[in-house]
Structures are given as structure tokens and as C-alpha cells.
Amino acid sequence: MSETFDAIVLGAGAAGMMCAAVAGQRGRRVALLDRAEAPGKKILISGGGRCNFTNLHAAPERYISANPHFAKSALSRYTPADFLALVEAYGIAWHEKTLGQLFCDGSARQILDLLLAECAKGQVDLRCGVETGVVEQREGLFHVAGVAAPRLVIATGGPSIPKMGASAFAYELARQFGLKVVEPRPALVPLTLGGDDLLFRELSGVSAEVLARCGKASFREAALFTHRGLSGPAILQISSYWKRGDAVRIDFLPDATPGWLVEAKRVNPRASPRRALPLPERLATVLAERLALPGELGQASDKALRAAEARLADWHFTPTGSEGFAKAEVTVGGIATSELSSRTMEARKIPGLYAIGEAVDVTGWLGGYNFQWAWASGQAAGLAIAEV
């Protein structure tokens, strides 16, 4: 005989623990199951071990989804200020980095301990090292690994960082119950270069602040050249929008004004193009070689210098691919939002089945946005379970 609960939450990550704690604290008996030997493994490695737990600027337009409006309801009902209040209630010291990113002063372990304490308040039955096996629905109950409940929450994330135990289980389970899945792909991931761009891989370790663009998306942050291609915050952000065959366009000097290279020639005609580029020396050398300007600025025509300016402002790279799910921080795609209620996260066709967090086709920008979606979607589902 299966042990019966009010709800089963599959996945003891950020979204799953949030959902279980919210429902448990409102009187629901919740089983929180995870196949890993310990909860919150991805939380512990996030933000360089300090957990970028939210972003002050979290808003629906900073999330990628087939339905850009889907995240509005949950995000409006549980804001960064709400989670920050919880952080402060636990006496966790924090600081703001650039662009609204909030980190623990200490360790990501503090956020995990907070979530575990919230689950304990709700008397959540946390079970790790559980092999889920077959999930069945019969006689109004979902049956999983020896427990049963009328409500089941899919919070097992996406396939990014498989070495941490990530898998496509959420999508398999969704399809089992007839829910559509938007084709998943790696996001917030380094891009690889080949062909004519191979030369830039020799710049491994060099970084510069750039404006990176792909389609209508653009981000001004650091780009980093690696032994395989391109990385750094600007590239990770753009990677979420990039698809195979797309060009990534880089403005190497986003603050430069038109005619700056012609003016540099007027001021010092004997300067080399390499010296005229206000960039890290190794990068300036490679770019100058590619621009094929003469040895001194004074030897180049104004037309040639303006053409060089234009190319530096819109340098095209065509990545050969990405470093895949192994290096991706998150996943774009997932359980289709068209299958879910934006208020409760419940499947429209399967009453009692919910999906939250990264398992859903909602992906945030780099910098705490995905944690905020985990908190907000987890809260939405937890409240809905408690209301039933």
C-alpha cells in the first residue's frame, strides 16, 4: 500500500522546495522526492558558490518563452522584494553586484538551509536518493515510488549540467501525460568557433566589455575568448537567443563616436592601428591584423579608417555550435506554457498535475532571473495546492 499525501513534489531544487514549503506551511501534507543523495545541488554551485538568488530587475520581458506573457502572473505575485524579505528574516547578509544581481555575502549553503528550514516549518517529508521509477495515475491519485497523492508537481528542472544529476525526466513525464514540450536547447552557454574565426581562439583568456547582438537581442557586458570560442556574460546572455546558423554581432567599442579612428590619425599619424585600438593588447593585435590596415594610421585613407570603424562596431562571428547541456546553466524550452495555467501552474488537461521552475518553457536572463522564476512559480503552485 502506498503512503498517501496531499501532494507529491518531484525535485528538491529551488522551485520544488519553495512549492513544498508553501503548501506544507498552509496545512498540506507534502512528500518532496529527489533522486539525488542530497537536495539543492545546483543551488550550492550557483553564483560561484555564493548563490545569485534573485535580481532586482526581474520582469517578464527578461524571460524567454513561446508565450512572453505567461510569466507575468507568477512574477507579479512573488517579487524579488518578497524573497529578499525572506533572506533577511533568516539574517543572511547579502550584497548587490552589477545590474541588480543579489548574492549572499557568505555561501550558497545559506539559501539551501533557508529552504530546508522553510520545508521543516511545513513538516514536508523530504526523501532523497529516491528512484522515481514509473509514475502512474489511477483512481484519482498519482503513484510514485511508494507514495500517492491527488496532486503531483514536476519540479525536476531541465537537462543542463548533467553531472549534477540533471536530466530530461520532466519532459518525458509531461509527454507521458499528453503535454506538449517546446524543443529544449542549451542556454546561458559558451559558443564555439571554427572556420575563419579559429584565429580568435588563440586569444583564450582575453576579455573585453562589448555590445553583443543576435537578432533583436543585445547585451552590453564582458565577452571572454576561450580555447573553444566565446564566453563571458555578454555571450552567455546572447546564447539564449542564438540558433544554429545565426551570426553573433559584436561592437568592440560601444562608447566610440563616429570618426574616432580618423581623429586618432589626425592626432598621431605615426601610430599603428594596434596602438590606436583601446582594447587589450592581444585582442587589438588580432583585430588590427584582420582589418589589414597599413603599418601607420597616416598611411590609411579616411575611407579605409571609416570602414574599419564600421567593422569594429559590427563584427560578425558565426558560431559552429555551443558547448551543449554539459556547460549550459539553464535550458530554453520545456513543458509548453500553453498546457498550463499561468496563475496556478496546473496542467489544463490533467487536473492535479503541475509544472514549475526550469521544467517549464520559461527561461530568464543571466543574473538571478532563473532563481526568481523558481521562487515565483513554486509559490504559485504551492498556494494553488493549499487552496484546493
Which of these, 212, 215, 216, 185, lies nearest to 324 by C-alpha position?
185
Predicted pLDDT of residue 174: 98
CA distance 358 to 159: 9
| Average pLDDT over every residue of 195-202 | 89
pLDDT band for position 59 (cuts 50, 70, 90): very high
Question: Helix or strand or coil: residue 222?
Answer: strand
**pLDDT, averaged across the chain:** 96
Which of 18-22, 116-120, 292-296, 321-325 has the least mean pLDDT? Answer: 292-296
Q: Which residues contact 234 (CB under 8 A, 6 or more apart)?
A: 209, 210, 211, 212, 219, 220, 221, 222, 223
Residue 327, pLDDT > 90, answer yes
Q: pLDDT band for 185, please (50, 70, 90 cuts).
A: very high
Distances (CA, A) of 338 to 58, 220, 239, 263, 380: 22, 32, 24, 55, 17
**pLDDT tens-digit profile of 369-385?**
999 999 999 999 999 99
pLDDT score, position 2: 86
At a CB cut-off of 8 Å and minimum separation 6, what does 270 contact? Answer: 296, 297, 298
Give the pLDDT confidence score for residue 388 in this predicted structure.
85
- Between 271 and 165, name the one with better pLDDT: 271
Weakest-pLDDT range from 109-113, 197-201, 284-288, 320-324: 197-201
Q: Pick the range with the lowest mean pLDDT from 166-175, 194-203, 259-268.
A: 194-203
- The per-residue pLDDT for 164 is 84
pLDDT score of 166: 86
How confident is the model over 95-113, as pLDDT tens digits?
999 999 999 999 999 999 9
Query: CA 119, CA 22: separation in Å to the nearest integer?
Result: 8
Report the alpha-carbon angle 359-361-367, nearest 5: 85
φ and ψ at 331, to 5 degrees? -125, 135
Rounded to the nearest 10 degrees, the angle between the axes of helix 109-121 and helix 14-25 is 30
